[in-house]
Amino acid sequence: MSDTKKLTEADLNQFTGTDHWYRHPLNRKIVYTDGVKHVADAGGAYWLIDEIALIQPYEKAVSAEGFQFWKLTVHDDRTATLVCEDGNGKAVYKKEIEFTDFPLSEISFYLTNNG
């Protein structure tokens, strides 16, 4: 029997703030909350944090946005679409994911520039 955690939507309701901040190991400008870390741990989704963190210095349309709304939508065939919007519903970046075993049908994150 596996003791691997599984991510559920109900789990996410407990995250309304954070006690700890975690610095992304490759893009040191990115810090994330306990809730994001829980998604990565329980959902096996460190790859998702990497996708968001690592595109920042390379995609000017993304890095130009001080407020970013990221949404991962998982399709029935286990492909997915990752979209970054500007907070007003305008997509500034989109990536098709060929395969994912992410356990939820969708998840959203906000990324803000506190600088």
Q: Nearest 5°: phi and psi at 53?
A: -70, -40
In a domain, residue 105? The reply is yes
In a domain, residue 34? The reply is yes
pLDDT at 113 (0 to 100): 82
Number of structural domains (the chain) is 1
Per-residue pLDDT at 1 exceeds 90: no
Q: Give the span between the Cα atoms of 2 and 4, in whole angstroms.
A: 5
Q: Give the span between the Cα atoms of 16 and 3, in whole angstroms.
A: 26
In a domain, residue 48? The reply is yes
H or E element in which residue 98 lies: none
In a domain, residue 80? The reply is yes
Question: pLDDT tens across 38-69, in order?
Answer: 999 999 999 999 999 999 999 999 999 999 99
Average the pLDDT over 90-114 and give the result: 94
For residue 66, the enclosing domain spans 19-112
Better pLDDT: 13 or 65: 65
In a domain, residue 94? The reply is yes
Where residue 55 sits, what CATH number does that domain have? 3.10.450
Q: Which of 15-24, 59-68, 88-97 has the lowest mean pLDDT?
A: 15-24
